[in-house]
Every structure is written in C-alpha cells, then in structure tokens.
Amino acid sequence: MRICDWLTAGGLVVVAAAGLTAATSFYDLKTSYLDGRPADLGVFRGKVTLVVNVASECGYTPQYEGLEQLHRELSGKGFSVLGFPSNDFGGQEPGSPQEIAAFCKKNYGVTFPMFAKLVTVRGPAQSPIYQFLGSSGHLPAWNFSKYLVDKNGRVVAFFPSAVEPDAPELREAIAKALAELR
C-alpha cells in the first residue's frame, strides 16, 4: 500500500489522493495521534482492537468510562481500544486536540490511544480509516459506533452507538477474537 503525503488541515487528517491504493488491513493505515505525532496503525498488528468514533458532548459520552475499563482489563491480553474523535454528528466534538485530551483525562482517566479528529461520513473529506472500516458494510450513524478489528486488521464485528462497552454481545465478540490470538 502506498499512501502519499499526509496533511493536517483544520485538525482533520486528509490524504492526498495521488497514488493511493486500497488498504487490505486496518493496520496498513497511518494517521496522527491526538497530540499531532504521526501514528502508524501497524503497531497494533497482531492485537485485537476496538475502534470507536468518540465525541465529548454526546449523550453516549459516558461510554468513555466503560471503554477505559475494557482497555485496562484486556490490554495485557493483546487488546486495545482506539479512540477517533469526530465532529460529524450534531457538532458534538468541537474542541481542539488539547481540549479533547484534557476532557478525556480529567473526566474519564482515558489511557487508551486517541487519534486526530477525522471525518467518518461518506464524501470527499472522509478519512481513509473510515473508508476502510466502511468497506465492512457499516458506517457510524452516530458517535460511539464500535468496530471490532481482529489481529490481521479485518473488521469482524460492528456495534452501533447504543451498545455499551460492557454489553454481553460485545464482550463475547472480543473474547472470541482474543481466543484466536492463542
């Protein structure tokens, strides 16, 4: 996979389209961490990840607590929650990267990786990350939609916003994906 120059414009990660080829794994993609450092999602290859589009001013925002609990409980077993802030739904993530980081730390003690704000919805500004995730047949309809990605970078399950981090169906899917690590 060849991805050309990554640019940051207005806090959103945008990719120049020249030479872009389709990713075959979520872990082939690159982005930026919330603090602006480059992020190669390849560092998560071999792990199970739960990719979540997050927002600070949403009715589902209290899910940060359960996501952090999942991350802390399972990170030693080859699992990580990955947070991708998005302002796509109701303008509920208007903050700067610094404001988002401070909110998450102060209110929920978030330690899982947080990435640069991006666009999840279809269109010319849609992030390559959500282009890839959307190829699973699902795009977020609201904040806190969850994609379970296996050790090879394939989307193996999708959970809409209303599915809480401690929901039995989510926990079972995570356990099944982790069992494949052994």
Active site residues: 58
**Cα separation, 68 vs 120, whole angstroms:** 22
Q: Which residue has the tokens 């414009």?
A: 9
DSSP single-letter state for residue 43: G
Which of 165, 145, 133, 148 has its CA nearest to residue 48?
A: 148
CB 161 within 8 A of CB 144: yes
